[in-house]
Amino acid sequence: MKFASLIFVFFVGVLTPFVSVAGEQLYSDINISADIKPILSKEMLAIENGMQEMLSSIAKGEWDKTAAIGEQLQASYILKQSLTKEQLIHLHQSLPGQFIRLDHDFHKYAGLLADAAKAKNADVTQFYFYKMNVSCVQCHSHYAKEHFPGLSKLTGLHLENKHK
């Protein structure tokens, strides 16, 4: 158990900076309308805050809080709640399938993390936190290179092969 915790701390220390968005306009590499980009940025900032809060709650063994945050992240669809029907149609037509799959994976992992936290299974909870973070890194390295230049030349992320 101690080794798994050390691995978790290592990955969190290495990967957490990659989720930081600080409210910037992200995803300039995706052709979406200017009125949707601030809403997407708002969702990314909410996810970042949730991930940071979740990291703390996992480290403290606050399983109920961790599960609640996981469920919130699983259901966090600010975009869907904030957009008009026309904007939703435009967004759906604009987003690449790969982006949609990465987003879906992130929310799926958040739900699985919530389930693991409810079971007080630290190893599985940490695993799904890691998987959520990997989803962020994959998406940012592929679709937000301008805002995350440290990820633009990242190797080892084979998005095309992951989702076949």
Query: What distances in angstroms separate CA 138 from CA 80, 104, 123, 149, one per listed residue?
Result: 22, 13, 22, 13
Q: What is the pLDDT of residues 72-90, one digit of tens each?
A: 999 877 767 788 888 888 8
Amino acid at 20: S
Domain residue ranges in the chain: 34-162
Q: Is 34-162 CATH 3.40.50.10800?
A: no
Listed in sequence order, the residues at least 6 apart from 41 whose beta carbon sits closer than 8 Å to its beta carbon are 21, 23, 24, 25, 26
Amino acid at 134: V
Closest to 25 (Cα-Cα) out of 40, 14, 15? 40
The model carries a pTM of: 0.74
Percent of the chain at pLDDT exceeding 90 = 39
